[in-house]
Amino acid sequence: MTTKYGLRAMMHNLLGAAVALGSMALLAAPATAQDKEPIRIGTLLPMTGVAAPSGASSMAGIEMAIEEINANGGILGRQVELVQADDAADPTKAVVEARRLMQNENVDVVIGPTYSQSALAIAPVASEANTIYISVAGSLELTPAKAPMHFSMQASADGQGITMLDYAASKGAKKVALLLDNAANSKTMGAKIHSYAEELGVEITEDQEFPFGSTDMTPQLLSLRRSEPDMLLLSGITGTDVGHALKGVEDIGWDIPIVGSLTFGADYPNVVKIVGTDILKNAVGLDIRAFSYCEGSPVGESPVAKLMTRLRERVGQERFDILSRAVVLYMYDAVMVAKTAIEATGSTDGDVLKDWIENNADKIPATLGQLYASKESHFLSGGPEANAVIEDLTTIREDGLRKRAGC
């Protein structure tokens, strides 16, 4: 099988032979054809299965970014071509589809996956193909050593855990219980909450785990209630899972203050689809800081607010209302990261792009805000400072922003 790099080498040899023969016509024709080749961006997303809503939101952001790029001349004068793959949030399927995208389809960059298990699983494939991939995974296992071609638009899961526990402690909680799913992202978060709780002097009364895609967490919740915590810290990888967990809290009649992970704000439409809004009056949750505001900030003027206006105009109000706007933002910016790196380097070589992003992430214009990267961390949104605590999740300003706690 000939990779995109093998094809480039063959073209180089052909051109060299043409020069040696003095055939300028032969030399010029392939060069012109090469200039017209599109930039191929692959997507590896859950378009079917329990996580399909996340895939739909991801595609909304990716398609909007590519549409805008192509309307403005493309990347290096080349149009962007989209090549899609469905991993159904299954790591095994993700590996199969990553091989197809990176080796058979010869894409230049992959956007996705959305879950840490899949992002970890495809790391060897990406290294072999020398192709960068930009996900929204949060597991700290995704180190540059283990997954050198991977970058994430999301702040790391440990940063979320720190913000959640800081908030609980600031409200006087001395004892907290944890309910987390079994995704790699939540395992990272749980480990950090345990170690950080020791530093803060907060007791973890008990922690319980539920399988990704569960609809009934009653046994776990009853056990947690018996441990008599002051607050419940809750994380699930999808809004659907969080909704079912909150429905369980409601069903057993447990009156407990809840501090939720980024899923509460980022996938809010799918949370309330399951449980409604009443229980959220007893809960706070995280959101991306760029989706929050302080009193007095002008309506509709932030980069995120303007992006949401374009999104609403593009997809219509009905679809806009069910999209995870944070996922849209992450994936829109992921395409822009790839665009900026390719334009800055004049290359689609994975190692070249990786090195440039590690050294220049802070120069990438992102709607999300300031980006960060280094040889030690590929989490582009940084740490706890990328998150905002939202005390009233149910109130969303007309420009799509929520009021940030503490300002």
Peptide bond preceding 30 in cis form (omega within 30 of 0): no
The CA distance from 320 to 175, in Å, is 39
pLDDT at 12 over 90: no
pTM of the model: 0.80
pLDDT at 284 over 90: yes
How does the average pLDDT of the chain come out, rounded? Answer: 90
Per-residue model confidence (pLDDT) at position 156: 81
Residues 280 and 169 in one domain: yes
88 backbone φψ class: left, alpha, beta (φ>0; ψ -120 to 50): left
pLDDT at 212 over 90: no
Residues 169 and 104 in one domain: no
pLDDT at 332 over 70: yes
In our burial notation (b when 16+ CB lie closer than 10 A, e otherwise), range 187-216 reads: bbbbebbeebbeeeebbbbbbbbbebbbee
Range of the domain at 53: 4-156+325-384
Per-residue model confidence (pLDDT) at position 8: 40
Residues 147 and 193 in one domain: no
- Assign residue 99 the CATH number of its domain: 3.40.50.2300
Residue 206 lies in a domain: yes
Count other Cβ atoms within 10 Å, centred on residue 144.
Answer: 17
What six digits make up the tokens of 103?
């080796």
Residues 398 and 370 in one domain: no
Residues 146 and 165 in one domain: no
> Considering only 33-42, 313-322, 341-350, which range has the smallest mean pLDDT?
33-42
Residue 301 lies in a domain: no
Domain count, the chain: 2
pLDDT at 35 over 90: no
| pLDDT, tens only, 74-130 | 999 999 999 999 999 999 999 999 999 999 999 999 999 998 999 999 999 999 999
